[in-house]
Amino acid sequence: MAKFAETSIPAVFHNRVEQFGDRAIVAYKKDGVYTDISWNEMGRMVRNLGYFLINKGIKAGDKVCLFSPNRYEWWVADLAILSIGAVNVPIYATNSAEESRYILDNSDAVMCFTATKEHTSKIVSVKPKLPNLNDIISFDPLDKPADGVMELSTALKEGAENAQEAEFDKRIRDIKSEEMATIIYTSGTTGNPKGVMLSHNNFFANVQQIYNVDPQLFERAAELTFLSFLPLAHSFERTVGYYTPMSHGMKVYFAEDFSKIVENFQEVHPTCIVSVPRLFEKIHAGILTKVAGAPPVKKAMFNWAMGIASNNLPYICNDKEPSGFFGFKYRLADKIIFSKLKVALGMDKLEFGFSGGGPLSVSDAEFFLGMGIKVVEGFGLTETTPVTNANSPRKIKPGTVGPSIKDTICKIGEGGELLIKGPQVMMGYYKNEEATKEVFTEDGFFRTGDIAEIDEEGYVKITGRIKDLIVTSGGKNISPQNIENSLKASNFVEQVAVIGDNRKYLSALVVPAFPELESWAKEQGISFSSRSELVKDPKVNELYAKEIEANMKDYARVEQIRKFSLLDKEWSQETDELTPTLKLKRRVINQKYKDAIEQMYPASAD
């Protein structure tokens, strides 16, 4: 019989420790090699850290911050915090000292876990401004002792030497499902972020709902492996890439970081991933770039295989095996092209890729689906823990985020806004009743801020974000996301932001796919000494004008891109144009590139 009633994530974890024992729960990179940690070992660390927290006087309901990238210690700290009834307040690993200070202060945190020396020094620098903050616990060893900072190894040792087993178990049993488990601060681009309060039941219910999307997938849980690379500070990775596999005994590998993701894929060969569209875009673009430089015979073979892949879509999207003569052709294409490509990418065992956090373009989705990799799109927000919609691997409709998941109601409200009700919807915003009231309708539906359509089978298509809507000076409402996705279908476009709010026409800032562009430029005999010189070349600009025109042919006249500006640097989180979940920070982009934007709107323009 299970030791704890399964009404919270920590209760599930401790029951699974008893169940799985010496089996591996996670693997992390140590001295260049992936090294396993067993359920028993993880359970011991969680308990010892929990005992330490109890001895430090951390009470149920106390807020404890966690400032770290993805690593196994994130799980240990999180599970220890939750097990004793305290509240985990994650901070994005890329946040500045001031952004971290705001979260620590606003959440009333009494303790903070930090990962590296850099994270620790950021918190130490703002500690004098935080009267509530007592202890800082560093995952990495310190160069020299620092006042108020302790290493995790010391905390674990102290906990083990003064075990509070009865109190620890009582704390787990005392957790009420409606109580707060976490405060996640939204990565807003305007004003201070809001603290989303999620309960134990929000997480527990969402894990159950994800299971119900495809129970068959979980029948082979012991064989399935995840690769974790999205930030655990965000609810998407936390619920789908951590709590869900953990609840079902799947093993999770930690990627080193996003820059080494392809290398880690090749080492791990995961069966499941949770990703934002950016990864699929980059892999797709990288393959096309390599093909563009391949010899004519290889290029012809690839194009033939892609034709087969396109014809495979009705089969894979409806979970059917290709049959007859087409089945023979597909298996041949798989043997000659797809299987080799998947092995090279480390995707030969990938059965299921869940994409969320932003719109996945149909061309990217269909590229992977055609090769037999089930990339399915879902939808959700931090405020919904996050999943509300998901395509089932048994019935996929590219371009949609799928029907609402179990116990979730979706409907279209005023202005086409998607409204949601379900057990995964947040408790509210921390210390912000006014903002909480604003995002709920009178009948209790959460206002997503997204514009959507629902088809006859209940599949939802997101067509834009209300706050991102461009209202032209002629009064036309235009969603930039759809146009941007269409433009990114070009092999030559890496990133794009459509401009046009209160303007007479639409324009676009375009970041080229430089490997593809540079290869093309060399073929054309265009010489350049830098990327900034390359993007100014008239022939290059002519190429992009044709690409934009070709990818905009299905749009109305008012939605056409009239002018564009090519940029010489890719947007990133480090340079502040992207959020931690790799979405565009439109206000930052508008401000940063205002000169380039103004040049696309000369006073004489009609």
Question: Domain holding 502: CATH number?
Answer: 3.30.300.30
CB-based contact 126:101 (threshold 8 Å): yes
Asked if pLDDT for residue 188 goes beyond 80, the answer is no
Strand order in the sheet with 460-465: 409-412, 417-421, 446-454, 460-465
Residue 548 located in a structural domain: yes
Residue among 194, 232, 200 nearest 113 (CA): 232
pLDDT tens profile 213-258: 999 989 999 899 999 999 999 999 999 999 999 999 999 999 998 8
Percent of the chain with pLDDT strictly greater than 90: 81
Residue 342 located in a structural domain: no
Mean pLDDT along residues 383-409: 97
pLDDT at residue 259, rounded to an integer: 82
pLDDT at residue 190, rounded to an integer: 54
Largest CA distance in the chain: 78
Least confident of 132-146, 342-356, 508-522, 578-592: 578-592
State the DSSP string of 99-167: HHHHHHHHTT-SEEEE-SHHHHHHHHHHGGG-TT--EEEESSPPSS--TTEEEHHHHHHHHHHT--HHH
Residue among 389, 435, 467 nearest 213 (CA): 389
Residue 543 located in a structural domain: yes
CB atoms under 10 Å from CB of 524, counted, come to 11
Please count the structural domains in the chain.
Answer: 1
Percent of the chain with pLDDT strictly greater than 70: 98
Asked if pLDDT for residue 303 goes beyond 70, the answer is yes
Residue 580 located in a structural domain: yes
Residue 544: CB partners within 8 Å, gap ≥ 6?
492, 493, 510, 512, 564, 566
Residue 251 located in a structural domain: no
Asked if pLDDT for residue 551 goes beyond 60, the answer is yes
Q: In the beta sheet, which residues pair with residue 254?
A: 228
CA-angle at 379, arms to 213 and 364, nearest 5°: 95
pLDDT tens profile 57-92: 999 999 999 999 999 999 999 999 999 999 999 999
pLDDT band at 476 (very low <50, low <70, confident <90, very high): confident
Can you give the residue range of the structural domain that contains 557? 469-599
Mean pLDDT along residues 526-533: 94
**Which residue in this structure is represented by tokens 């290869």?**
519
Residue among 150, 118, 117, 155 nearest 134 (CA): 150
Q: Which SS3 state, helix, strand or coil, does residue 578 take?
A: strand
Which sign, positive or negative, has the C-alpha torsion 125, 128, 131, 133? positive
Instruction: Kindly report the pTM of this predicted structure.
Output: 0.89
pLDDT at residue 187, rounded to an integer: 66
Residue 516 located in a structural domain: yes
Asked if pLDDT for residue 498 goes beyond 90, the answer is yes
| Type of residue numbered 203 | F
pLDDT at residue 262, rounded to an integer: 87
Residue 476 located in a structural domain: yes
Tokens of 60: 């149920």
Residue 184 located in a structural domain: no
CA distance 516 to 373: 24
C-alpha atoms less than 13 angstroms from C-alpha of 321 in its C-beta half-sphere: 4
pLDDT band at 14 (very low <50, low <70, confident <90, very high): very high
pLDDT at residue 294, rounded to an integer: 85
pLDDT band at 290 (very low <50, low <70, confident <90, very high): confident
pLDDT band at 501 (very low <50, low <70, confident <90, very high): confident
| Type of residue numbered 592 | K
pLDDT at residue 281, rounded to an integer: 86
